[in-house]
Amino acid sequence: MTKADVSQPESSTSRPGMGPIVFAVSAAALAGLLFGYDTGVASGIQGYLQTYFKLSNSQLGFAIACLELGCVPGAMFAGMLADRFGRKKILIICAILFAVSGILSAIPQSLYQLVLARILGGLAIGASSMVAPVYIAEIAPERHRGRLGSLFQLGIVVGIALVYWVNFFILKTGHSIAAHHAAVGTNWNQTTGWRWMLGSETAPAILFLLMILAVPESPRWLIINNAEGLGRKILTRFVGPQGAEREIAAVKEVAAQEEGRFSELFLDRYRLPLIIALFLAVFSQFSGINSIIYYAPRVFKAAGMNTSNAFGSTALVGMVNLAFTFIAVGFVDKAGRKLLLAIGTAIQVISLFSVGLIFALAKHTTVTLVKAGHTVTHTSIHFNHVQVVILLSSVLVFIAAFAMAMGPMPWIIISEIFPARIRGRAASVGVFTLWIAIYIVAQTFPWLKAHAGLTVTYFLYSGCSLISFLFVLLVLPETKGKTLEQIEAYWHHRHLDKTGEEKH
């Protein structure tokens, strides 16, 4: 099947079906919104958790990062389950887990109960972050797959921006309540506000469940799993009768070349896509993005902002993240994955270096106190007005660069570069690795901040972004405008060409 065979009729047959496709993609993208909501909420709760449960810095790091303890096994096993039972069933289970996690997170009486609730949410995030992009890739026409695939990342940043404003509203409400009950010393945020921040996730989780119940199963999964009739019915609604027959023929052609075993992922022909998936998964996170998403108020407070201004600046981060994700949505199918990644990672290098440099130039004051026979050393960082402006600007530029490139592209690329029969399990490997990287960053950032300092920490993240930039330029192929079957055939023919050269 040639590219012309696929792309030429698509304009006349797929347009009438874009309504059902967009609804199905939007439903799946709500998994991204809950992903962002559940991770972004950490920026508002951590200070209150530390006080309420009397946590050390390492315990706080665990309380925040325990979400990833659920994400890792969720991502690890979701691919196998999705390949066996279907994409839709796993997404339904994820929606239920999100709702249960939201309810349980609002009522814990101990740290362990909170950790359990967060791990349940992590299972949902890990599984849905693997299954939802694959589902979107499998139902999206190739001309729009990048744009529709970007909606998962758009869901993430909408969730982050939304929870930042929810946190900010709850914070202000708590301050008003505390001021009203000042005579009795009430601190509503410390005892109750953080519970509302965590529990508010339940509402979008229920919406996700209702919408995912209304969407069809992935037609590609149905065709591969001996349900061609149902797959044809869904494809006919999406792309019309002729488009459906063309899609079915293409899926069956490439499926006949695969055995569907997980071991196929490690064949020579898929070595490069596996390397690409693992690299993008790791270095998207080693840019330090979650040091901003999780710890933004603390970073801004380190710059001398008060609590309200720090939360307000954090909300601004969420809005910039949201705005620049629309660039990815609008241009990924025109400019391509490679160009956006090259521009984005180059900007990341400069902006992260600037953040580190500002912390290096700031005035540091060290105070040594003796408490209960122990010497305690505390270092304060003082910024002038210009430095605060530069710091905030650098953070916002980094967020903008990440939002238009390293944020959405790994989800799109990982979901589209693997063969159909093992796409779920193969994507699990990439997403599993991504969550390991997220956990490492979330767990190590407080330690790096305390022991190496923010200057070294952000210089390190800048160096990782430089490695990403070079990898994109030298290794990453372009996949825009290609069907999933054409991408799969590309790896097959590339392997044959390479083998033929070696034989000569």
Tokens representing residue 128 in the block: 């849905």
The phi and psi torsions of 53 (rounded to 5 degrees) equal -95, 0
Mean pLDDT to the nearest integer, 321-329: 86
Alpha carbons 452 and 436: distance in angstroms, whole number:
22
User: Taking 60 as the threshold, does the pLDDT of residue 4 lie above it?
Assistant: no
pLDDT of residue 133: 92
Tell me what the mean pLDDT of segment 365-382 comes to: 65
pLDDT-derived band at 309, boundaries 50, 70, 90: low
Q: Which amino acid would we find at residue 340? A: L
d(CA 167, CA 37): 11
Can you tell me the distance from the alpha carbon of 203 to that of 136, in angstroms, rounded to the nearest whole number? 23
Place 68 in a pLDDT band, splitting at 50, 70 and 90. confident
pLDDT, tens digit, 9 for 90 and up, residues 98-130? 999 999 999 999 989 999 999 999 999 999 999
Residue at 383: amino acid letter = F
Buried residues in 174-210 as b, exposed as e (16+ CB within 10 A): bbebbeeeeeeebbbbeebbbbbbbbbbbebbebbbe
What is the model's pLDDT at position 328? 86
Residue pair 274/429 in contact by the 8 Å Cβ criterion = yes
pLDDT at 314: 66
- Euclidean distance between CA atoms 215 and 97, whole angstroms: 19
Q: Is 417 helix (H, G, I), strand (E, B) or coil?
A: coil
| pLDDT of 479 higher than 60 | yes
Would you tell me the crossing angle of helices 409-416 and 423-451 to the nearest 10 degrees?
150
pLDDT of 222 above 50: yes
Reading the block at residue 105, the tokens are 């997170």
What's the rounded mean pLDDT across residues 461-465? 97
Question: Please, what is the Cα angle at 286 between 283 and 291, to 5 degrees?
Answer: 145
pLDDT given at position 278: 94
CA pseudo-torsion sign 304, 459, 391, 150 = negative
Task: Indicate the SS3 state at residue 134.
Answer: helix
* Least confident among 16-20, 108-112, 395-399: 16-20
One-letter identity of residue 202: T
With DSSP H G I counted as helix, E B as strand and the rest as coil, what are the percentages for the chain, rounded to 5?
80, 5, 15
Lowest-confidence region among 69-78, 88-97, 138-147, 308-317: 308-317
Confidence band for 400, pLDDT divided at 50, 70 and 90: very high
- DSSP per-residue string spanning 450-477: HHTHHHHHHHHHHHHHHHHHHHHHHTPP
What is the rounded distance in angstroms from the CA atom of residue 464 to the CA atom of residue 286?
6
Distance from C-alpha of 291 to C-alpha of 443, rounded to nearest angstrom: 10
The amino acid at residue 343 is I
Q: What is the mean pLDDT of the chain?
A: 83
Q: Which amino acid is at 268?
A: D
User: For 140-184, what is each residue's pLDDT tens digit?
Assistant: 887 888 888 889 988 988 898 888 889 889 988 887 877 776 544
- What local confidence, expressed as pLDDT, does residue 184 receive? 46
**380: three-class secondary structure by DSSP:** strand
Task: State the Cα–Cα distance between residues 159 and 132, nearest whole angstrom.
Answer: 15
- Radius of gyration over every alpha carbon of the chain, rounded to an integer in angstroms: 24
Specify the pLDDT at position 12. Answer: 39
Among 430, 75, 405, 424, CA closest to 281: 430
pTM higher than the cut 0.85? no
Cβ atoms of 25 and 136 closer than 8 Å: yes
Burial of 54 (0-12, 13-18, 19+ CB in 10 A): exposed
In the chain, the domains with their CATH numbers are 3-503 (1.20.1250.20)
